[in-house]
Amino acid sequence: MKNESFGLASARLLDALGIAPKDQSSVENLTDLRRELQTSIYDVEKLDIIKGTIIYDGAVKGGILCGDGFEPVPFIHNEQGLLKVLDNSPQPSKPPKQTTLNADQLQKYSHAYVLKEKKVAFGGISPFFRHYSGRLWDIVAAAFLINLFALAFPLFSSFVYDKIMGNGIYETLWALAICLVFVLGIEFFMRLIRLQAAERFAISTETDIDYGIFKKLLATDMNSLPGIGLLLEKYKQIISYRDFLSSSYLLALADIPFLFLFLAAILIIAGPMALLVVLFGGALALSSSLLLKPVLDYEAVAKIGSERRFGLLNDLLSAREVIVGSAFQGDMQEKLRQSSVQSALASSKARYWRGVGMSLANSISYLSYVAVLVAGVYMVEDHKLTSGGLLAVSMLSSRAMSGMSSVSSLILRYKEFRAALKGLNSLLPDKAARHVIPHGKLSGNVHFENVTCRLRSDDNPVLDKINFNIGAGEIVGIAGSPGSGKTTLLRLIAGIIPADKGRVLIDDIPTENLSLDDISISLGYKPQELCLLEGMIEDNVRAGRPPLEAGARKDLLRLSGLEFAFRESGLNWQTEVGVRGMKLSGGQRQLVSLARAFAYNPSLILLDEPTNGLDAALEMHLAEQIRSLKGKATIIVSTHSHHILSICDRIIVVGQSKILADGPRERILQKN
């Protein structure tokens, strides 16, 4: 494999995935590629090509084909589920030309290095150390040299006191001093290198944690999601404690093994005085360990109070209209006060015991210093130790005790960080990996196969043993009384909640086996509860997809009815919607949500109460626009609106957890 060719292929691949390498020459081999990906959401994995086939899944986003005698070729896995070869010429077109990869082309390659989304485990800290072991070895190597250089200063002091003072050997003094200046310079640069390596490790782990939390939240069923306040408090704990994986604690952790280096030096210089340092170090470690328990216990109580406060603040922000001016206001203030007092008292006691531990550690360190000097004087008087040796031992013992005193803070922070990770993992447990195979854009056939769904495990099913088929291009209305299961039915189709029993299939594919790419290009969904994110109207309509062309924008304004809001209210694509869309009226939020569902010509459109907040004229307009999509997309509408039901080909009536009626529009409307 030519390094230059691999670098060019890597640069094309990274550019296609939105990752900018420092320069093409910086990626010459697989190790360089892994380095470039360390702060991204991707890992590299080698897959063999057998009989012209790569066994891959939806997590593969691209890769590099390799084979003896052939140039490395970059490819991506596009939204339609196809492998596309990228133009690998030195000066490709913008954007690079893509051609579909087939089995005949794959025959000549033996393997591929594929990029897959990272899997982040929250069960402990060791996965981070294993994944970034290369950077940790850099830190350990630098720590070894730094601690080795640290021995030079006590030895220099000993030599000056014993050999130079009183003998006037100034040439030797200056020679040693100049050497130590060079050692100081080297040590300074080694510390900078170690600091940089530790912070690169911290950046990588921090981005991995945030990305892992985001993926877990998306993968968790809606019915299993924890309270927002509780989740935010757990996340706040991780943010507070993950500095354990930064230079703040990582450098001290790397220095711990080298305590034995200083103890060995003391043993060589002063023999039994090393035992004295070990005894005081053991006393320091024991006292710190005993004081860890009250600190952790009080912090656990403080966290419970903090979780309640976050929950109350979330309720206040999300339901402010209900709380202001009602009896809820006083009730919530009292609950907040109680939680605040509980958390503040527990935090104060935890800080107190931390302070006790630090004070005790300082006292033991000073006692150790005094004991070393007292014992050293006796050894000097017995001619078993020189004055310079005593000075060196006192410096080495202080360095060793400083390292031992950091052990307790390291253990405490480690336990706090591990508990925070496990706490979050208990809220968002790992789910079994889904078998996802990309299929491209779907046609929109929907099939319910004996589906049962409960919103709470101890409740009666909202839907029980539901069976029906909806063909591609049909317009189907879902009718029923409030609480009958209309919204649940649409959520099942959208894959937002899972069925307890049975299967929901789109184009004969279970919804849990559909890739996110398939869903994003095939499904338009307008939920009953309007969901707008802070940003512009255009951002909310695009929902992370490519920019809309002028013609598509015009059609979308007409389809959704957003053109009326633009014309009458002065809105435009760049209008800021505010937090949760609060800068728009209810009707305007509804129209923006409809525009998002209709955008990019999805083959399956799910509309849950699309006429809420709309006047009669807009209802009729929306009904006509839905009618115009007949045969172009499968449209399933949950509604009470007669205007919408009147343009449906078929109506399904749900109630009492069953399908009460299913048939042509005229027959169902006549009965009801």
Rounded Cα–Cα distance for residues 406 and 39 (Å): 30
Whole-number pLDDT of residue 627: 92
Q: How many CB atoms lie within 10 A of CB 15?
A: 17
The backbone torsions φ and ψ at residue 384, rounded to the nearest 5 degrees and listed phi first, read -95, -5
Burial of 17 (0-12, 13-18, 19+ CB in 10 A): middle
Query: What angle, 0 to 180 degrees and rounded to 10, lies between the N-to-C axes of helices 170-219 and 228-241?
Result: 160
The two beta strands, 70-77 and 60-67, are: antiparallel
Return the structure tokens found at 269.
């210089």
Residue 54 Cα distances to 49, 75, 110, 398, angstroms: 5, 12, 10, 60
Residues 6 or more apart whose CB falls under 8 angstroms from that of 336 comprise: 309, 312, 313
Q: Which residues of 150-178 are buried (b: 16+ CB within 10 A; e: fewer)?
A: bbebbbbbbbbbbebeeeeeeeebeebee
Question: Could you state, in chain order, the average pLDDT of each consecutive group of 10 residues for the chain (672 residues)?
Answer: 67 70 59 68 72 58 77 69 58 54 69 72 68 79 89 88 83 89 91 89 82 77 71 82 83 87 90 90 86 87 83 76 70 81 88 90 90 90 88 90 83 84 75 59 90 84 92 92 90 88 90 76 88 88 85 89 86 87 87 91 92 89 92 92 90 91 86 68
The predicted pLDDT at position 55 comes to 56
pLDDT computed for residue 2 by the predictor: 47
Q: Which residues of 329-338 are buried (b: 16+ CB within 10 A; e: fewer)?
A: eeebeeebee
* CA–CA gap between residue 108 and residue 51 (Å, rounded): 9
Matching residue, tokens 């001290």: 252
The alpha carbon of 484 is separated from its chain's Cα centroid by a whole number of angstroms, namely: 36
Which of 440, 543, 437 shows the shortest CA–CA distance to 60?
A: 437
Look at residue 316 in the predicted model and tell me its pLDDT: 77
Q: Is the dihedral of CA 567, 569, 570, 571 positive or negative?
A: negative
pLDDT in tens, 22-74: 555 556 667 777 767 765 667 777 777 765 565 555 566 778 888 777 778 78
Give the pLDDT of residue 429. 66
DSSP 3-state percent helix, strand, coil across the chain (nearest 5)? 60, 15, 25
Q: How far apart are CA 213 and CA 210, in angstroms?
A: 5
pLDDT at 119: 62
Q: How far apart, in Å, are the Cα atoms of 152 and each of 270, 302, 397?
A: 17, 46, 14
Q: How far apart are CA 569 and CA 578, in angstroms?
A: 16
The pLDDT assigned to 75 comes to: 77
pLDDT single digits (tens) 294-337 = 988 888 888 888 888 888 887 777 777 667 666 777 777 888 88
Report DSSP letters for 126-169, one per residue: HHHHHHTHHHHHHHHHHHHHHHHHHTHHHHHHHHIIIIITTTT-
Question: What burial letters (b/e) apply to 103-113, b meaning 16+ CB within 10 Å?
Answer: eebbeebebbb
- Closest among 75, 38, 27, 81 to 59, alpha carbons compared: 81
CA dist 470 and 634 (Å) reads 8
The reported pLDDT for the residue numbered 1 is 43
Closest alpha carbon to 11 in 22, 330, 304: 22
> What one-character-per-residue DSSP string does 415-458 give?
HHHHHHHHHHHHHSPPPPPP------S----EEEEEEEE-SSTT
**How large is the C-alpha radius of gyration of the chain?**
34
The CB-based long-range contact list for 83-88 (8 Å cut-off, 24+ gap) reads 83/54, 86/12, 86/13, 86/16, 87/12, 88/8, 88/9, 88/12
N-terminal to C-terminal alpha carbon distance within the chain? 73
What the chain holds in terms of domains, given with CATH numbers, is 3-117 (3.90.70.10), 126-427 (1.20.1560.10), 446-671 (3.40.50.300)
DSSP notation for 446-510: EEEEEEEE-SSTTSPPSEEEEEEEE-TT-EEEEE-STTSSHHHHHHHHHTSS--SEEEEEETTEE
Give the count of beta carbons closer than 10 Å to the beta carbon of residue 549.
Answer: 9
Whether cis (ω within 30° of 0) applies to the bond prior to 547 is: no
